[in-house]
Amino acid sequence: MSDNLKTIRELADEFKVSKQAVRKRLTDEFRANYVETVYSNGVETLVVTVSGYRLLKQHFASSNGSENVGSNVGGNGGNDHVTSDNKQTTNNSYVFKILEQQLAVKDKQIENKDLQISQMQNLLDQQQRLALQDKKLLEEYKTEIKDLKALNMPIKDSEKDEPIQNEKSLENINEKPKKVKKKWWPFRQ
């Protein structure tokens, strides 16, 4: 493009970073102040102004540590007398805004985790209460079964078995004389 306006690709090549790294620095506030849209051959192209270029150069120079902050941007005729205090203030406010946003996100995440922990504790309490109820019911059923077994055992042994045996023995006595022996050959008698 021109010397004063640079595309994202040109900036990425110059700073020796990826286009995504340059795009990451182009926040809404930065775009509103330092980015313009240029139409060439029917195609929209985003370009960064000279002051935006300086901020990006400062950022990538400080992260790379290889370039000077106050270098001359090609062809601006010595208009590079902006003080580093201005840049520092702008950069600091930008960093503070990013940090505040990150802090707000972290606060929301912590609130979400606290809510999840309290829900898990409630579920654990419910599970423990249900387990106790099940244990009590099992114990009650066991005692009922034992009581029923205890009730059934004496009745079978003492009262029911003796009369049945007595009746069977009487029947056997009565039936013996009535039985007639039959032979397997009927024609001989």
pLDDT digits (tens, 9 = 90+) for 153-178: 655 444 554 555 555 555 555 555 55
State what percent of residues in the chain have pLDDT above 70: 65
Distance (Å, whole) CA 48 – CA 11: 9
**Chain centroid to CA 4:** 48
Distance (Å, whole) CA 21 – CA 9: 11
Q: Is residue 90 part of a domain?
A: no
Asked whether the predicted pLDDT for residue 69 surpasses 50, the reply is no
Domain containing 21: what range? Answer: 1-65
pLDDT of residue 140: 94
**How many CB atoms neighbour CB 127 within 10 A?**
10
Q: Is residue 60 part of a domain?
A: yes
Distance (Å, whole) CA 94 – CA 86: 12
Q: Is residue 20 part of a domain?
A: yes
Q: Is residue 133 part of a domain?
A: no
Looking at the whole model, is its pTM more than 0.75?
no
Asked whether the predicted pLDDT for residue 67 surpasses 70, the reply is no
Q: Is residue 151 part of a domain?
A: no
Asked whether the predicted pLDDT for residue 138 surpasses 90, the reply is yes
CATH classification of the domain holding 32: 1.10.1660
pLDDT tens figures, 105-132: 999 999 999 999 999 999 999 999 999 9
Q: Is residue 183 part of a domain?
A: no
Q: Are 45 and 9 in contact (CB under 8 A)?
A: no
pLDDT tens figures, 83-94: 555 666 777 788
The residues, any chain, with a CB within 8 Å of residue 114's CB and separated by 6 or more, are none
Q: Is residue 74 part of a domain?
A: no
Q: Is residue 189 part of a domain?
A: no
Q: How far is CA 48 from CA 32, 127, 150, in A?
A: 11, 60, 94
Q: How many domains does the chain have?
A: 1
pLDDT of residue 53: 86
Q: Is the dihedral of CA 91, 92, 94, 99 positive or negative?
A: positive
